[in-house]
Each structure stands twice: as C-alpha cells, then as structure tokens.
C-alpha cells in the first residue's frame, strides 16, 4: 500500500486541468475552434463588406472570439479552482491518495472513494503529476511533491504490473529475476 497526503492549491488545480485536457484530447479541439473562428470572421466580412466600417467589425468579432477563448483556457479553470477551494469541504482538508493492488482510493475528512483498476482508462505520469484517468475528461491527480522520491520507481513498477499497458509512466527498468 502506498499512501500520499497533500492539499492542492488553485494554481496546482489549474496546471492539472490543463495537463488532463491536453493529454487525452490533445490539440485536436483547437482545429474546430479555429475553423469556427474563421467561419465567423468570413460571415462577418460578407455581412460588412458594403460598409465603411467593415474592417472594424471584423476586428471586433475576432477580438470577442479571442477573449472568449482566453476565458475558456485560462479563466474558467481559475474560477473553478477558487470556487472549489471556497465551497467544497473536501478541498479544505488533507487529501489522501492510497494506491493498492486492488485499486486507487481517495480519503478526506468528508469522503471515501475506492476505484478498482479495471475502471481506469489510463494512468499517465507527467513531470508534475501522476494522472489517474476515469475517462477522457476526468482524472484524479496526485502532485509529485507528495510522493517521496524513493517511492517513485517502486510505484511506477507496481502500476505497470497492476494495469499493464494502460500505465504510461517513465521508463521502468527491467527487474532481474
């Protein structure tokens, strides 16, 4: 059994949110967003082509789109983190992540969650977090600052042993039999 306790911060939550989204969905959502932006600007250009203020109308639509995209990428995660820290009693307590051969557990003063390894889509190690994905958009994150350095190689090897190819961790050295 491996147990790690921590309290997350708003900035840590934001970084984890970005990593979770980027890993499973990649940069693919950017392409449809850019296509939609180009389509909106094209329609705005057609609508405003007979006007003397058409360049300003196109600029305004583009600026609004950039503001909205900026809010979705940077603002929304910050507001979510601040709201969770303010309103969720679990976020105010120490969080304990417990990793066993049976699965992954979360404990706080208010909740106890146990998830078997078969329910995880993937476990991914990033430079800052191990991410335990339940689906493409939802993952538990454990800050590496909570994991003792000596525990990391053992944890990596155990995750590969317990969940196989769904564990994407830093290279685990082969163990001589």
| Residue 48 in tokens | 């405003």
pLDDT, tens only, 99-145: 999 999 999 888 899 999 999 999 999 999 999 999 888 899 999 99
Separation CA 32–CA 74 (nearest Å): 19
pLDDT, tens only, 23-52: 766 655 555 666 677 677 777 666 666 666
97, 147 in Cβ contact below 8 A?
Answer: no
| Residue 158 in tokens | 């155990």
Of the candidates 159, 89, 91, the one whose C-alpha atom is nearest the C-alpha of residue 131 is 159
Express as a percent the part of the chain with pLDDT over 90. 36
Phi, psi of 176 (to 5 degrees): -70, 140
Separation CA 144–CA 19 (nearest Å): 14
User: Where exactly are the structural domains of the chain?
Assistant: 2-7+93-168, 14-87
| Residue 104 in tokens | 């992954």
98, 2 in Cβ contact below 8 A?
Answer: yes
Instruction: Say which CATH architecture domain 2-7+93-168 belongs to.
Output: Roll (2.30)
pLDDT, tens only, 81-100: 888 888 887 777 889 999 99
């Amino acid at each position: 059994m491996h147990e790690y306790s921590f309290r997350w911060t708003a900035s840590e939550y934001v970084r984890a949110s970005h990593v979770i989204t980027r890993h499973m969905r990649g940069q693919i959502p950017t392409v449809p967003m850019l296509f939609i932006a180009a389509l909106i600007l094209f329609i705005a250009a057609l609508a405003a082509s007979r006007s003397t203020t058409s360049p300003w109308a196109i600029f305004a639509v583009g600026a609004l789109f950039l503001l909205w995209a900026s809010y979705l990428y940077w603002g929304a995660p910050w507001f979510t983190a601040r709201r969770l820290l303010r309103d969720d009693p679990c976020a105010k307590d120490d969080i304990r992540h417990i990793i066993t051969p049976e699965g992954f557990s979360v404990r706080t003063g208010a909740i106890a969650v146990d998830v078997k390894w078969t329910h995880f889509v993937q476990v991914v190690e990033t430079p800052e977090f191990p991410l335990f994905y339940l689906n493409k958009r939802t993952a538990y994150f454990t800050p590496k600052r909570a994991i003792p350095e000596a525990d990391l190689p053992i944890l990596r090897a155990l995750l590969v042993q317990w969940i196989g190819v769904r564990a994407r961790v830093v290279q685990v050295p082969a163990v001589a039999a």
